[in-house]
C-alpha cells in the first residue's frame, strides 16, 4: 500500500491509503480497499487492537482528494464538499453484475452496484465514505433502492435482484415501508447484509430481519466469514 499524507483546508490532517495491486490486497478496518481516506483522530482496527490515528509532522497543503472517510460529527461542514456530494447523489446510477449458477450454466440473478457520475466519487467506497462523514447514508440508500426497484421490474423471468445494504440502512424506517419502491418488488429481491461491517448498534436485528422477510425479501450474508455476523439471526 502507499500512504500519501496531506492537509486540506477544513478537513484537518488526512492520509490517503492506496492499494498497489498486491496479491493479498490492502485491508483497513476489516475491509479490502482500493483507496481510503483516514483523518487525524480516526480509530483504526489492526487485528484485535484499536488505534487512534494522529500526525504531528509538518504537512504539505498542496493536495486535494476525492472524499473523507469515517464519521466526524465535530468537524464543521464544508459547503464545497456538500455541493460535491449533492451533485454525486443527483447522478447516482446502478451497474448490474450477473450472478451465474455454475451447475446450471445460467444467470440466476443480478447484483446492483452503486455508481455515480461525479468525478472522484464515482466508486461506491468514496461515495459512501463521504455520505458517512456527512450523516447522509440513508439518502444514498433510498436513492439506490429506488433505482434498483425500477430495474427489478425489467428482470428476465426467473432471476433475482441482489441489493447491498449499508449497516445504517438497517435502521432506516423507509426500508420497512410496504409502499416503498423496493418493497413493491420484494418477491424478486435479495437483500445482502455484509458481515464485514459491525451490526452491534442494531439491538433488534433479528426483529428487523423478520420484518423484511414478511415483506417478501430474501436475506443473504455477504462476505461470510469476516467475523461480525451472528448467523443465528439469519437462519
Tens digits of residue pLDDT in 155-172: 888 899 999 998 889 889
User: Which pLDDT belongs to residue 72?
Assistant: 38
Is residue 113 helix, strand or coil?
Answer: strand
Quick one: which of 183, 63, 160 has its CA closest to 112?
160
Residue 183 CA to residue 217 CA, distance in Å, equals: 8
Residue corresponding to grid cell 451465474: 100
pLDDT lower than 50: segments of the chain: 1-2, 5, 7-11, 48, 55-76, 196-197, 224-229, 231-234
**Cell of residue 44, nine digits:** 483504526
Bridge partners (DSSP) of residue 7 are 13
User: Which pLDDT belongs to residue 217?
Assistant: 97
Q: pTM above 0.95?
A: no
Residue 53 CA to residue 153 CA, distance in Å, equals: 46
User: Which pLDDT belongs to residue 62?
Assistant: 31
Amino acid at each position: 500500500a502507499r500512504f500519501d499524507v496531506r492537509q486540506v483546508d477544513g478537513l484537518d490532517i488526512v492520509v490517503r491509503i492506496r492499494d498497489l495491486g498486491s496479491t493479498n490486497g490492502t485491508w483497513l478496518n476489516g475491509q479490502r480497499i482500493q483507496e481510503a481516506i483516514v483523518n487525524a483522530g480516526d480509530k483504526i482496527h489492526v487485528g484485535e487492537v484499536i488505534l487512534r490515528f494522529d500526525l504531528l509532522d509538518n504537512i504539505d497543503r498542496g493536495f486535494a482528494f476525492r472524499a473523507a472517510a469515517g464519521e466526524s460529527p465535530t468537524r464543521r461542514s464544508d459547503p464545497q464538499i456538500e455541493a460535491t456530494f449533492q451533485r454525486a447523489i443527483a447522478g447516482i446510477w446502478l451497474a448490474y453484475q450477473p450472478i451465474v449458477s455454475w451447475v446450471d450454466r445460467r444467470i440466476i440473478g443480478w447484483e446492483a452496484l452503486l455508481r455515480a457520475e461525479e468525478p472522484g466519487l464515482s466508486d461506491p467506497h468514496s461515495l459512501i465514505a463521504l455520505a458517512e462523514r456527512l450523516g447522509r447514508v440513508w439518502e444514498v440508500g433510498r436513492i439506490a433502492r429506488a433505482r434498483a426497484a425500477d430495474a427489478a421490474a425489467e428482470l428476465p423471468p426467473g432471476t433475482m435482484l441482489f441489493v447491498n445494504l449499508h449497516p445504517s440502512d438497517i435502521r432506516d424506517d423507509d426500508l420497512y415501508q410496504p409502499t416503498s419502491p423496493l418493497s413493491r418488488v420484494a418477491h424478486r429481491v435479495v437483500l445482502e447484509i455484509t458481515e464485514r461491517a459491525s451490526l452491534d448498534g442494531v439491538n433488534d436485528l433479528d426483529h428487523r430481519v423478520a420484518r423484511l422477510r414478511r415483506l417478501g425479501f430474501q436475506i443473504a450474508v455477504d462476505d461470510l466469514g469476516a467475523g461480525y455476523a451472528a448467523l443465528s439471526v439469519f437462519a
